[in-house]
Amino acid sequence: MKNIKVLFALLLFAGIFNSCSDAYEIVQPGELYPIDAIQNVNDMNSALISLYDQVYPDDEIAFTSYFTDETAIGIDNGGQSLPEYRFNLLATNSYVRAIWLNNYNLIVSANRIIQLSDNVVLDPESASFEDDTIEKNRILAEVRTLRALGFIQLEAYFSTDMTDDNALGVMLLDHVPSDLPNKEMLPRVENGLIYAFINEDLDFAEDNLQANSSALVTQQLVTGLRARLALYRAKYAEALTYADEVINQYPATSQGLASANSYPSIWDNSSSSEIIFGLERPSGKPGIASNWYFNEVSISGGAYMEVSRSLYNAYPNNDVRRGVVVLDGSVISPNYSTVFDYRGQDILLPGKYPGVAQLPLNNRVPVMRTAEIHLIKAEAQVGLGDLDGALTTLNFLRSRRISSGSALSAFTTQQDGFAAVLKERRLELAFEGFRYIDLHRLGTLAGVSSVDRYERDCEPYGACTLSVTDYRFTLPIPQAEINGNNVIADQQNPGY
């Protein structure tokens, strides 16, 4: 009798449990679970297209422009981006959180595609087996390249010293994290472990990308990312080899660089010249120019951030880049240093992303251009002591941008060479998200002590100088990550 009562109780409990689980484990007709989302190569390709949507450098570009010396407070500013302009940088900063989250979203999405690709089992007896295998590996190559890009960007912003393999890097997330309530807690790991993982991804991509593919990710991008990572690590010989590998694919007359006449067409989306990898921004996507304007790219478009006077002054008068960075229609005062109403009479409007038809704030966002590769080459040559070679590389780039009198004089010291590279990177890569990283890693080598802001831009805000050795040239681990990941709580970057 006792055994019957126990059995009845167990059955009753099971019935209650199943009844309760039915209330929350509801499967809707037609509902698709992640495990079922990828069943064939076509599904993988659809997932890859969605993955490109996760590549989002816009916040890096915006933050860099505010925090360094690319922008000044605009004529229509009502408090926007003032904390960043004033060098106020906390773990709760929204841009810090966005840069961390955007790149980890990209990595997790890539991990999910890689994991679910195991569902795609190809039949060796099928007539399409060989083609399907090539296509599957091509898709995985693109996925892994984008994952590598995410890790490179995270390292550049959150590692205190990318040249030290033993220094603390970011979290090595190589899988799809478990769901709540058993959430994974991952620590930060040494840079060297992250670099090894990145190189594994790029090795796979190099072996499996197809030369005739119409993919957005190409062998050029893979090699360019190798060059960028090697440079950030101060592996100058590697960086030079990879940079030359990209440059040598172009005719010697141009070396992949647009002429001064055609350079502006890169920025209005009418030409893809120099673009190794760029992201289109169709209708429905946030416009890159909304980081500086409220409504449209024009004098009446609500410019809450403007081009800094120091950046404008750094360009030679006949440099085509100045006419791209500063919008035609700006109010440029010849007496900017003495005019009474400086803010109202010297209005330098950002023009690198001028908008496209029907989309006044949208433009293609460049992730890598051939110009960056030339700058990588020049810096690597300086690092290896080849000052004459670096001079030749920089002068060739300048000859494609400046109508006359572009040649730099010979460098007498390595510091002179690094200083010339840092300046040229500022001119060429303005508003592309590099200046913050460059000042951190290259400023001391170049003998540059601080950001370069014009006093009438920065004095009203008490924000004229910030040493390139300041702890704020490494981003803090976001407070949101620390709150949800107690393992990383004791691994915050110094100073925060």
**Complete domains list, the chain, with CATH:** 47-64+81-280+368-490 (1.25.40.390)
Alpha helices in 219-330 (DSSP H): 219-232, 236-247, 309-314, 320-325
Taking the CA atoms of residue 344, residue 350, residue 351 and residue 352 in that order, the dihedral angle to the nearest 10 degrees is 170
107 in Cβ contact with 172 (< 8 Å)? no
167 in Cβ contact with 161 (< 8 Å)? yes
- Measured CA distances, 35 to 29, 40, 110, 113, 116 (Å): 16, 12, 14, 10, 7
Q: What are phi and psi of 391, to 5 degrees?
A: -60, -45
**Which region, left, alpha or beta, applies to residue 410 given φ > 0 means left and ψ of -120 to 50 means alpha?**
beta
Rounded-to-5 percentages of helix, strand, coil across the chain:
50, 5, 45
What are the structure tokens assigned to 165, written together? 């393999």
267 in Cβ contact with 416 (< 8 Å)? no
Per-residue pLDDT of the chain (496 residues; tens, 9 = 90+): 434 333 333 333 334 334 444 444 444 554 445 666 789 999 999 999 999 999 999 999 999 999 999 999 999 999 999 999 999 999 999 999 999 999 999 999 999 999 999 999 988 989 999 999 999 999 999 999 999 999 999 999 999 999 999 999 999 999 998 776 667 899 999 999 999 999 999 999 999 997 766 668 999 999 999 999 999 999 999 999 999 999 999 999 999 999 999 999 999 999 999 999 999 887 677 799 999 999 999 999 999 999 999 999 999 999 999 999 999 999 999 999 999 999 999 999 999 999 998 889 999 999 999 999 999 999 999 999 999 999 999 999 999 999 888 899 999 999 999 999 999 999 999 999 999 999 999 999 999 999 999 999 999 999 999 999 999 999 999 999 999 998 999 999 999 9
CA dist 276 and 243 (Å) reads: 13
Q: Which residues contact 477 (CB under 8 A, 6 or more apart)?
A: 91, 100, 158, 188, 488, 491, 492, 493, 496
* Three-state secondary structure of 30-45: CCCCHHHHCCCHHHHH
What H or E segment, with its residue span, contains residue 193?
helix 191-208
342 in Cβ contact with 335 (< 8 Å)? no
CA dist 419 and 316 (Å) reads: 17
Q: Omega before 286 cis (within 30°)?
A: no
One DSSP character per residue, 86-146 reads TT---TT-HHHHHHHHHHHHHHHHHHHHHHHGGG----TTSTTHHHHHHHHHHHHHHHHHH
239 in Cβ contact with 227 (< 8 Å)? yes
CA dist 370 and 391 (Å) reads: 18
Q: Which residues contact 265 (CB under 8 A, 6 or more apart)?
A: 258, 271, 273
Alpha carbon 38 to chain centroid, angstroms = 28
Q: Which pLDDT value is given to residue 183?
A: 76
Q: Which pLDDT value is given to residue 357?
A: 84
CA dist 44 and 120 (Å) reads: 9
